[in-house]
Amino acid sequence: MTEARATPAVAATLGDRPAISRRRRFVGAATTVAWRQLHNMLRNPALLLPPLIMPIFFFLAFAGGLSAVDGTPGFDYPDYDSFQFVFVLLQSAAFGGVFTGLAVAGDFEFGFARRLLLATHDRTALIVGYALVALARAALVMSVLVVVALIGGASITGSGLDLFGLFGLALIFNIGFTLFAAGIAFRVRSLQGAPLMQVPVFVLLLTAPVYVPLDLIEGWVHAVAEVNPVTAVLQSGRGLVIGDPVELGLAFAVVLGLAALFSVWAVRGMRRAEAAA
C-alpha cells in the first residue's frame, strides 16, 4: 500500500528533474554573467565612475545654474532642485542601461561573448545577467543621487510609498533602456554601435519637459513633448517626489510597455548574435 502510494510521487519527482536542472543552469548562467560584470565594474574605476559622476554633475549644473527658473510666472512646483532631481534620476536610469549595452558590445568585440554563447544552453540567461548588472548599477547611482539632492536642498517630501513608486518607475525605466541598448549590441557586436544606443535616448529625454513644466513650453517642442512617452513618466515622478501623484497608471504603463517591447527587441537581437556566432 505504502509503496503503491509513493510510486506516483517518486515518478513525478523524477519527471521534474530535467526542469529543475534547466532552471539551475539558467540561474547559474545569469548570475555568472552578472557577477563578472559587477566584479569588473568594482575593480575598474573607468567603468564605475562615469555612470556615478555624470548624474551628479547634471544635477548640480541644472539645479544650480537654472535655479532662477523657479521664479518664472506659472512655475508652480515647490522648488527647482526637486523638479530637476526627478529628471536627473530618470536620466541616470536610462543611461545606466546604455552603459550596460556598451558592456555587451565590448564583450562581443573582444570575443568573450562568443564563449558565453557556446557555454550557455538558454542564451536568454545572458540578457537576464546583464539586466541584473544594470539594476545594481542603477540602485547605486540613485542612492548617491538622493544623498546629493538632499544635501543640495531638494524637497523630497513624498511618503515612503510615493518614493517606492518613484524608484520603481526609475528601475523599470532602466530595464527598458538596458534591453534597448542590448538589442543594438547583439546586432552590431561592436563598440562602434555606441551612437546608436546613445542618440535615441538623448533625443527622447531632451524632448520631454526637462527645464520647465509642460504648460510653459511653446512651439514645436511642446507638440513633441505632449506625445513623448517620457513626459508622463517625468510628470508622474515629479508628483511622487512631493507626495502628489499624477498620471501614475499611465507612467507605469509606459515603462512596462517599453520594457516589454524592448525585451522582444533584445531576444531577437540575441538570436541574430547566435546565428552569427
Domain region containing 165: 2-276
Q: Are 191 and 102 in contact (CB under 8 A)?
A: yes
Q: For residue range 198-217, list pLDDT tens digits in order.
A: 999 999 999 999 888 888 88
Q: Is the pLDDT of residue 12 over 50?
A: no
In angstroms, rounded to a whole number, what is the distance separating the alpha carbons of residues 8 and 266?
41
* CB contact set of 231 (below 8 Å; sequence gap of 6+): 208, 209, 214, 225
Q: For helices 80-109 and 112-119, give the axis angle rounded to 10 degrees.
A: 80
- Give pLDDT, residue 251: 95
The yes-or-no verdict on residue 5 having pLDDT over 90 is no
Share of the chain above pLDDT 90, in %: 46
Closest C-alpha among 175, 182, 204, 166 to residue 89: 166
Q: Are 210 and 87 in contact (CB under 8 A)?
A: yes
HEC per residue, 129-161: HHHHHHHHHHHHHHHHHHHHHHHHCCCCCCCHH
pLDDT digits (tens, 9 = 90+) for 118-137: 777 777 888 999 999 999 99
Q: Rounded to whole angstroms, how far apart are CA atoms 6 and 97? A: 50
Q: What confidence tens digit (pLDDT) does each residue in 137-182 have?
A: 999 999 999 999 888 888 888 898 999 999 999 999 999 999 999 9
Q: b/e per residue, 48-64, with b = 16+ CB within 10 A?
A: beebbebbbebbeebbe
Position 42 scores a pLDDT of 81
User: Crossing angle of helices 124-152/2-43, nearest 10°?
Assistant: 50
Number of domains in the chain: 1
Per-residue pLDDT tens digits for 53-111: 888 888 888 777 766 677 677 778 888 888 899 999 999 999 999 999 999 999 888 88
Kindly report the backbone phi and psi dihedral angles of residue 149, in degrees, each rounded to the nearest multiple of 5, phi listed first. -65, -40
The cell for 255 is 515603462
Mean pLDDT throughout 247-272? 94
